[in-house]
Structure 1
């Protein structure tokens, strides 16, 4: 009887450690932005993806007059955790690739310098806000649609009615954010 229990326990432990069926083996950074999801880069029929780029690469979207959708955020940001699944769904529906600019590491240390902030600020200042000290600051989540090096539209945060430190978004708020992101993605096409 003990042998049978040990065999069953071993099989159960092995099954729990097996990789998920729908996951693609990719680098860690491909999943960084999707920390709250069950699978990492699940296979689907679209070509939509979230690709992590550095802050310097984000600056190049402006200095080299590139086009695309930039998403500034970090994995432990409560607002990002709420906004990211909505953004991913809308991007997938519109077959738009998102360039993820990770602004903080797991210990919440800033991943860009004051010099990098000064370089990007002239391009995105209309989508930045003043902090409590009155300093123009990059708040996240921030989604920007860039065309030929110029921001044509963007959205900061989730919704004015939502405080992610107090509660999760309601279904109505998710729907409102979906409409905002859908409008943005239509401009990216």
Structure 2
């Protein structure tokens, strides 16, 4: 619990520092002589007002760049920081100093703009809202990493590696939460296990208890059975009662999880492969 609280505090502090740093950076670029002031241990940026609305707008809106980090940072990490980044959208509202500067600058700019430029501005604004909407919909439909189903057996990495070493009958899954391919494979594996009334041992290769000696042992297993010199995931291992081993690495050929989700045909292909892996164990 203490670690969680510390992580939240650290992420909030980082977001505040980044917010003010963006103000400072843009003000420096625009040669507005920015200065850092502290108020109750919280930094704030002041800069020279040259009464140039476009410059004031750019400095005031600079923290909106933080919104882009939501797309860059990995899933299942930096949740509080991502929330703080998303909240920068509200920075454009006149409920804070930045919002007041932004609103006043926009009003002054609109007064001096030609009609065509106003239309362009409206189009850009609509496109921005559209992109935000697409992102929200994508986030809602995203698959979460879930290795906590009734068919997933959680035990220590040392116990799992011992079972692998002794070639004990079973199905074994290796992966980690931030792996896009793992996120795609897990629900399909769970379906195969459920259909066959089977279970699989789960090992998170990024777990702190997965020590270097255990990692070295798994690397040796990869060299012998996966024909890889290092650990790649997701990996599904099936061992039958004759101590024979069968492995499946990745999802399916041609699928790049960083670019897109699996198609229906790819998912069907993967399901067939994993069904065979489950049947092999029997």
Would you call these one fold, judging by a TM-score over 0.5?
yes
Report what 1:139 is aligned to: 232
After TM superposition, give the deviation of residue 180 of structure 1 in Å: 0.5
The SS at the match of 1:161 is coil
Secondary structure at 2:182 match in 1: helix
Q: Which is greater in Rg?
A: 2
Pairing 1:120–2:218 present: yes
Q: Which runs of 4+ in 1 moved over 6 A?
A: none
SS of residue paired to 2:203? strand
1:148 offset after TM fit, Å?
Answer: 5.7
Residue 64 of structure 1 and its aligned partner are, at CA, apart by: 3.5
TM-score with structure 1 setting the length: 0.64
Q: Is the 8 A contact 1:62 1:150 kept in 2?
A: no
TM-score by length of 2: 0.44
Structure 1 residue 123 displacement after superposition: 3.5
Residues 172 and 202, structure 2, Cα contact 8 Å, conserved in 1: yes
* Distance in 2 of aligned mates of 1:150 and 1:138: 22
User: What is the Cα-based RMSD across aligned positions, in Å?
Assistant: 2.4
Runs (5+) with no aligned partner, structure 1: 1-33, 42-47, 130-135
Pair 122,150 (structure 1): closer, same or farther in 2 beyond 3 Å: farther
Answer yes or no: is the 8 Å Cα contact 1:162–1:169 preserved in 2.
Answer: yes
Q: CA deviation at 1:95?
A: 1.1
Q: Which has the higher helix share?
A: 2
Distance 1:78 1:182 in 2: 21
Greater share of residues in strand? 1
- Greater RCO, 1 or 2 (C-alpha within 8 Å, sep 6+): 1
Gaps of 5+ in 2: 1-142
Of residues 247, 266, 278, the one that matches 1:173 is: 266
**Within the alignment, does 1:161 sit opposite 2:254 as a pair?**
yes
Structure 1 residues 21-55: Cα deviation after superposition (integer angstroms, max 9, x where no partner): xxxxxxxxxxxxx9446xx64xxxxxx61012222
* SS of residue in 2 equivalent to 1:137: coil
| Equivalent pairs, count | 138
Q: CA deviation at 1:182?
A: 0.8
Measured in 2, the distance between the counterparts of 1:154 and 1:101 equals 15
